[in-house]
Amino acid sequence: MIRMKGVSKVYEAGVTALDQVNLEIKKGEFVFVVGPSGAGKSTLIKLLYCQETASAGQVLVGGKDLSGMRRREIPHLRRKIGVVFQDFKLLNDRTVAENVAFALFVTGAARRDTQKRVAQVLATVGLSDRQRAYPNQLSGGEQQRVAMARALVRNPELLLADEPTGNLDPKTSVEIFKLMERANVYGTTIVVATHARHIVDSMRKRVVEIRDGSVVRDDRRGAYNR
Amino acid sequence: MRMSLGGYLLAETGKSIWRNKLSSFLSCGTTALALFLLGVAFIVRLNLGFTLEVVQQQMEVQAYLQRELCDSDCAAVFEAVQAMPGVAEVTYVSKADALEQMKEWFQDKSAVLDGLGEDNPLPASIRVTMTDISLIPGLVEEIRLLEGIDDVQYQDEAAARLQSLGAISQAVSLGGMVIVGLVAIMVIGNSIKLTIDAKRHEIAIMKLVGATDEFIVGPFILTGVVLGVLGGVLGASFAIGLYTWVASAVQAAVPFVPVLNLTLETGKDMLIVMLSTGVVVGVLGSTISIRRYLRV
């Protein structure tokens, strides 16, 4: 699903965020990316959905080389990927259902299919009764569940999450990770950059640790700390 | 989302115009001013063409014959003129005809001329119209050389003046249009920049979920087009309104001056050019801001 070969990323200011990273993630894997703040976790995630391009090396997602990708192709790649952020990134002037439907709408999906699929995915994340609410009427956990629903509504091959529970309490965080685990069971590859130590420790999935832009550990069933 | 793509486009366009009412109003206003000037230039050109046509039709060379010329000499001159190249029509106006015509012009005051009955001081003349107005100077020279001609007259200066006056007023209004048009493009661009700024967050999310550039840009382009077309309609209405008012005032004051009546037929080209200029101004304005501000 994902292959990074000798990938480096140097930002314009001269900051090296990633340095010669090699990483392979197979289809259907669940991978935690851990490490201290500023280690390069977010950059790694950003390279995978084309928010940034690598300064050197090769990034392949679903067999596609992202470095040679044209600007026009990026939207089509992103339609196969769900992305979840710490700050939810919801449209505040649209309802819960509209926020989720938006991901289908931009791809030109038929209206009838959209409604059905949105109802389904909202039921999955447990928000069927909040469809008509606006994001600012929801708790943080609920907002993140809306973001999860939006990410999952297209049955993505890959779900990327950058600190998805950074703003949530431990109990709510567990709920979000359970949703990811569920999507993973249905075949979605999951890559999560996180600081949620207790969750990484309890879930026992593959753990990739990054420090100063380099992969320093890759455990098949790892914990937050070595 | 309960709407179609078209509905989405329209709704977003409406929202962005409504959210920035003041700058939308300014955009429309400057576009309207630019297109008003374009309209004025157009109307001047239309009228000029019309007037020249009328003048050309009316433009005739009048050759006055010497008073002592006998009828057969007159006929010889008439025939000589008729044979000249480029001559469309020749009419002979006898002394008596000239007097009759003058009486017609004076109408109710024609009694003044009654005393002239026996001693008609008016010369006989030949009136010539040409197939091509540019041949007139040559014809005049030729007629002057004929035996029995007293004087030759034609309105060459009037035509030349009309032409240069039209050219100047057209240049001024077109120049003004270009300047105001550029300002309009910038004002529309600014209006759309404001919308883009306000929607930065939303645009980032749209990109994230896989919206194409066209999908994101669509509403902004349409906003520019709507502002441009509204400005165009406004500008055209002002130009037509002002012209209709001026034309009727001129017609009332000096009825013999030919004034073009602006109808759908005569104004069609003008409307098409004005509205499409509005569209171009709108597209340029929005494209400029999109290129500069949409790199999210």
Identify from A77, A105, A154 which residue to disrupt to test chain B contact, counting B C-beta atoms within 10 A and taking the largest count.
A105
CA of A7 to nearest chain B CA: how many angstroms apart?
Answer: 22
pLDDT band at A68 (very low <50, low <70, confident <90, very high): confident
B296 has pLDDT over 60: no
**Domain parsing of chain B, residue ranges:** 5-55+159-293, 60-154
pLDDT band at B159 (very low <50, low <70, confident <90, very high): low
**What pLDDT does A118 receive?**
95
Interchain proximity B207–A78, CB inside 8 Å: yes
pLDDT band at A212 (very low <50, low <70, confident <90, very high): very high
B2 has pLDDT over 60: no
B1 has pLDDT over 60: no
**What pLDDT does A129 receive?**
95
**What pLDDT does A26 receive?**
96
What's the mean pLDDT when you consider all of chain A?
93
- Order the strands of the A214-219 sheet from edge to edge: A81-85, A158-162, A189-193, A30-34, A206-211, A214-219
Residue with tokens 């300014």: B26
Triad A22, A79, A11: Cα angle to 5°: 45
Domain span(s) for CATH 3.40.50.300 in chain A: 1-80+156-226
What's the mean pLDDT when you consider all of chain B?
81
Q: Which residue of B has its CA nearest to A117?
A: B1
The CATH number given to B60-154 is: 3.30.70.3040
> Which residue did the predictor score with more confidence, B273 or A1?
A1
The pLDDT of A15-28, averaged and rounded, is 95
> Which residue did the predictor score with more confidence, B143 or A192?
A192
B117 has pLDDT over 70: no
Query: Which residues in B lie closer than 8 A to residue A98 (C-beta atoms)?
Result: 1
Rounded to two decimals, the pTM is 0.70
> Which residue did the predictor score with more confidence, A60 or B103?
A60
> Which residue did the predictor score with more confidence, B248 or A81?
A81
> Which residue did the predictor score with more confidence, A211 or B127?
A211
CA of B22 to nearest chain A CA: how many angstroms apart?
Answer: 22
**What pLDDT does B78 receive?**
86
Query: Which residues in A lie closer than 8 A to residue B205 (C-beta atoms)?
Result: 89-91, 102
pLDDT band at B110 (very low <50, low <70, confident <90, very high): low
Instruction: Show Cβ contacts of residue B21 under 8 Å, excluding neighbours closer than 6 positions.
Output: none
pLDDT tens digits, residue range A69-87?
888 899 999 999 999 999 9
Answer whether B208 touches A (CB < 8 Å).
yes
DSSP state of B123: P
Which among A71, A91, A106 is the nearest to B215, CB-wise?
Answer: A106
> Which residue did the predictor score with more confidence, A200 or B262?
A200
Residue A172, CA atoms < 13 Å, CB-side half-sphere: 14
pLDDT tens digits, residue range A129-159?
999 999 999 999 999 999 999 999 999 999 9
- DSSP secondary structure, chain A, as one string: -EEEEEEEEE-TTS-EEEEEEEEEE-TT-EEEEE-STTSSHHHHHHHHTTSS--SEEEEEETTEESTT--GGGHHHHHTTEEEEETT----TTS-HHHHHHHHHHTTT--HHHHHHHHHHHHHHTT-GGGTT--GGGS-HHHHHHHHHHHHHTT--SEEEEESTTTTS-HHHHHHHHHHHHHHHHTT-EEEEE---HHHHHHH--EEEEEETTEEEEEETT--S--
Interchain proximity A108–B5, CB inside 8 Å: yes
Q: Which residue of A has its CA nearest to B203?
A: A91
**What pLDDT does A110 receive?**
80
Query: Which residues in B lie closer than 8 A to residue A83 (C-beta atoms)?
Result: 208
**What pLDDT does B263 receive?**
75
B33 has pLDDT over 80: yes
Percent of all residues in chain A with a pLDDT value above 70, rounded to a whole number: 100
Triad A167, A205, A152: Cα angle to 5°: 55
Q: Which residue of A has its CA nearest to B214?
A: A72
pLDDT tens digits, residue range B12-31?
888 888 877 888 888 888 88
**What pLDDT does A34 receive?**
96
Interchain proximity A49–B208, CB inside 8 Å: yes
pLDDT tens digits, residue range A155-177?
999 999 999 999 899 999 999 99
Percent of all residues in chain B with a pLDDT value above 70, rounded to a whole number: 89
pLDDT tens digits, residue range B172-210?
877 887 888 888 888 888 888 888 888 888 888 988 999
Residues of chain A contacting B, Cβ within 8 Å: 49, 71-72, 75-79, 83, 89-91, 98, 101-108, 111, 114, 150
Q: Which residue of B has its CA nearest to A104?
A: B209
Identify from B208, B213, B217 which residue to disrupt to test chain A contact, counting A C-beta atoms within 10 A and taking the largest count.
B208
Domain A1-80+156-226 has CATH 3.40.190.10: no
> Which residue did the predictor score with more confidence, A198 or B2?
A198
Interchain proximity A103–B210, CB inside 8 Å: yes
> Which residue did the predictor score with more confidence, B255 or B79?
B79
pLDDT band at B268 (very low <50, low <70, confident <90, very high): confident
